[in-house]
Amino acid sequence: MTEHPWLTQLNERGYRLTGARRAVAETMANSDRALTPIEVYDMAREAYPALGLVTVYRTLEALEETGLIQRVHQPEGCQAFITAPGGHQHLLLCQQCGRATLFGGDDLENLIQSIGRETGYQITEHWLQLFGLCSDCR
């Protein structure tokens, strides 16, 4: 039996493989939009009905710590999570359908460096998030 790559990664981090984790991980991995813990709970229970909400919280925490998902900040709240393939990426969210598109922030580096010079800050982290309408919704 071959496991989803996410589960393999969790396992390598010392997490045991369980039905609950499989259900939560696959729900997140298959979603192209941000999901709240409750949404994950409802969706993952279709595959694993015995799942408890507390376990959803704990598994999301594990997935975030492992770098497989990231928290999404939105005007309405900051409780949602979305896949984070390949580490640090920037988000572009559709305000209509909720779809999320990831993009690299290569051009951002220059901007950040010049801001660091101007302000005297040693900048260690950055967040860029865009909102708009995706090609289908506009």
Partner DNA sequence: ATTGAAAATGATAATGGTTTTCAATATCAG
Partner DNA sequence: CTGATATTGAAAACCATTATCATTTTCAAT
The rounded distance, in Å, linking the Cα atoms of 57 and 105 is: 29
For residue 15, the partner it binds in DNA, its own copies, none, with Cβ less than 5 to 8 A by kind, is DNA
Task: For the segment 41-80, give every residue that binds its own copies (CB under 8 A).
Answer: 73, 77-78
Rounded least distance, CB 88 to DNA, Å: 22
- 55 versus 70: smaller Cβ distance to its own copies: 70
Give the CA angle between residues 65, 71, 73 to the nearest 5°. 155
> Is residue 53 near DNA by the rule CB under 7 A?
yes
> Is residue 2 near its own copies by the rule CB under 8 A?
no
Contact with DNA (CB under 7 A) among 27, 34, 35, 59: 59
Site string for its own copies, 77-96 (x = CB under 8 A): xx-------------x-xx-
11 token code pair: 């396992």
CA-closest candidate to residue 72, choices 107, 26, 31: 31
Amino acid found at 125: E
Question: For residue 50, what are the contacts with CB-CB under 8 A and spacing of at least 6?
Answer: 19, 20
